[in-house]
Chain A
């Protein structure tokens, strides 16, 4: 089972075009230029790269939200969910309606969602706000509800867009714990993250994006080292306190 091919990306390119620009002006921008790699079932893959390197766009291609403008992306017949801190809610609807809607959009059955509703509410811990329109929510509450919904969606592939830690410190710890457990359970995971320590802890492969291109794949440690070197930092693999340096690195994003 380990060798099932889930994603097969060959020379993917994605171009954004500015709306309402005159045809004679060149207003397009290649967010991804040349990205190729394969992901097999059960792998946990980290995506690293600076802001604007194309990580979020790549996750959207993997999730099937956008189609690449060139190259081929073949995908096994699996359920894929994208988890992100700002989860795309309809602000005018209540939390409960949004849970239902999002569940349906993600392909769940109505009964299934109703069954998980209590657990979702318990995890999100937003009390009676669940029946208020979401425009009255604080951003922390939105993030918590978003996390809770996607946590309970049954899926084969998890795509994480910096979604490891929504909300306040207490919820952050809880969410981090849960997501790590979920990652380690059985899923195929692609996580875009700036947190070097998370990638080091969780991932068994790393893809390094640079200006829309995927660099040659190296083992995790070497790849992180290359990434940090490019930013003028070093990964002190054999220094006395690696943890403190890692925290410094992930804090300065």
Chain B
């Protein structure tokens, strides 16, 4: 049963990726263009207009943006996924977890490809790989877990509170400033640092940068709360969607 559902999630994700690519002229190229363009925008804004003095700012910025974009993309698309699937679920029964999970898979595949791009940019900028790269899969896994958790909970609740979907874009906008995408958390006041580090995403971005730019091993103590929160959110989201599995088709 689980295997069948997994098959379904993978098939649906692949079909979606393919259809997305065929709808534009640049097709699959957008997977790379999109993050590069958004890097361009923030680079111009912060380097030329605000004159940030962070070293290797392009690499610094890019690694943060890519992680943040995966998170926000997964959460936004995930939140709307059950509502968007109404026409499908009204005609047959299946587990609604399918919707947010295939959003996660679709975004994950794009994310992994942009990560390769990030590493390429890091090497081009003159950084060399270190042993700390071994910790990278673990951190990426944590990013995926936290994104999945938030995405599942949002997906479970938005059908009941459609307004939340609109509010979400504002929340995520705020979050990009609270995640240390544009600045080094360690340069803030100690009080501010401890507040920002409550955000698991900020910690993850900081530690991934530590690996890529400074060859630092991640600090497990900082990561533990994030891991616990993600597992909690995944369980909660899964439970909610399971509970309302046969209720969602009634909501319009």
Q: Spell out A's residues near B (CB within 8 Å).
A: 14, 16-17, 19-20, 60, 63-67, 81-82, 84, 86-90, 92-94, 97, 100-102, 104-107, 110, 133
Residues from chain A with a CB closer than 8 A to the CB of B91 are 65, 82, 84, 86-88
| Contact across chains for B92 and A106 when beta carbons are under 8 A apart | yes
Q: Which of A20, A66, A100, A101 has the most CB of B within 10 A?
A: A66
Q: Given A101-B12, A104-B11, are A94 and B19 neighbors across the interface (CB < 8 Å)? A: yes
| Contact across chains for B11 and A65 when beta carbons are under 8 A apart | no
In the assembled complex, B57 has its CB within 8 A of some CB on chain A: no
Q: Which residue of A lies closest to B87 (CB)?
A: A88
Q: In the complex, A16 Cα to B150 Cα: how many Å?
A: 28
| Contact across chains for A110 and B246 when beta carbons are under 8 A apart | no
Q: In the complex, A89 Cα to B92 Cα: how many Å?
A: 11
| Contact across chains for A88 and B92 when beta carbons are under 8 A apart | yes
Q: Given A65-B92, A92-B23, are A19 and B251 neighbors across the interface (CB < 8 Å)? A: yes
Q: How many residues of B contact A (CB 8 A)?
A: 31
Please give the distance in Å from A128's CB to the nearest CB on chain B. Answer: 15
Q: Given A93-B19, A97-B15, are A81 and B159 neighbors across the interface (CB < 8 Å)? A: no
Q: Spell out B's residues near A (CB within 8 Å).
A: 4, 7-8, 11-12, 15-16, 18-20, 22-23, 87-94, 159-163, 246-247, 249-252
Q: Given A66-B246, A82-B91, are A19 and B159 neighbors across the interface (CB < 8 Å)? A: yes
Q: Given A64-B93, A65-B92, A106-B92, are A100 and B249 neighbors across the interface (CB < 8 Å)? A: no
Please give the distance in Å from B134's CB to the nearest CB on chain A. Answer: 36
Residues from chain B with a CB closer than 8 A to the CB of A64 are 93, 246
| Contact across chains for B87 and A63 when beta carbons are under 8 A apart | no
A-B pairs under 8 A by CB, number: 81
Q: Quick one: which of B16, B19, B89 contacts A65, CB cutoff 8 A?
A: B89
Q: Quick one: which of B19, B92, B161 contacts A133, CB cutoff 8 A?
A: B19
Q: Quick one: which of A16, A63, A89, A102 contacts B93, CB cutoff 8 A?
A: A63
Q: Quick one: which of A66, A102, A105 contacts B250, CB cutoff 8 A?
A: A66
| Contact across chains for B250 and A88 when beta carbons are under 8 A apart | no
Q: Given A65-B246, A66-B247, A67-B247, are A104 and B19 neighbors across the interface (CB < 8 Å)? A: no
Please give the distance in Å from B21's CB to the nearest CB on chain A. Answer: 11
Given A94-B19, A101-B15, 14 other A-B residues pairs in contact with their CB atoms under 8 A:
A17-B251, A20-B162, A63-B92, A65-B246, A88-B90, A88-B91, A88-B92, A92-B16, A97-B15, A100-B11, A100-B15, A102-B92, A105-B88, A110-B7
| Contact across chains for B92 and A104 when beta carbons are under 8 A apart | no
Please give the distance in Å from A158's CB to the nearest CB on chain B. Answer: 13
Q: Quick one: which of B18, B87, B94 contacts A89, CB cutoff 8 A?
A: B87
Q: In the complex, A15 Cα to B246 Cα: how many Å?
A: 13
16 sample A-B contacts, Cβ–Cβ < 8 Å, listed by A number? A17-B250, A17-B251, A20-B163, A66-B246, A84-B91, A88-B91, A90-B88, A92-B19, A92-B23, A93-B16, A97-B15, A101-B8, A104-B11, A105-B92, A133-B22, A133-B23
Residues from chain B with a CB closer than 8 A to the CB of A60 are 90, 249
Q: Quick one: which of B11, B12, B88, B159 contacts A88, CB cutoff 8 A?
A: B88
Residues from chain A with a CB closer than 8 A to the CB of B20 are 92
Q: Given A82-B91, A90-B88, are A67 and B246 neighbors across the interface (CB < 8 Å)? A: yes
Residues from chain B with a CB closer than 8 A to the CB of A104 are 4, 7-8, 11
Q: In the complex, A105 Cα to B7 Cα: how many Å?
A: 10
Q: In the complex, A100 Cα to B13 Cα: how many Å?
A: 13
Please give the distance in Å from A54's CB to the nearest CB on chain B. Answer: 13
Q: Which residue of B lies closest to A57 (CB)?
A: B250
Please give the distance in Å from B13's CB to the nearest CB on chain A. Answer: 11
Residues from chain B with a CB closer than 8 A to the CB of A84 are 91
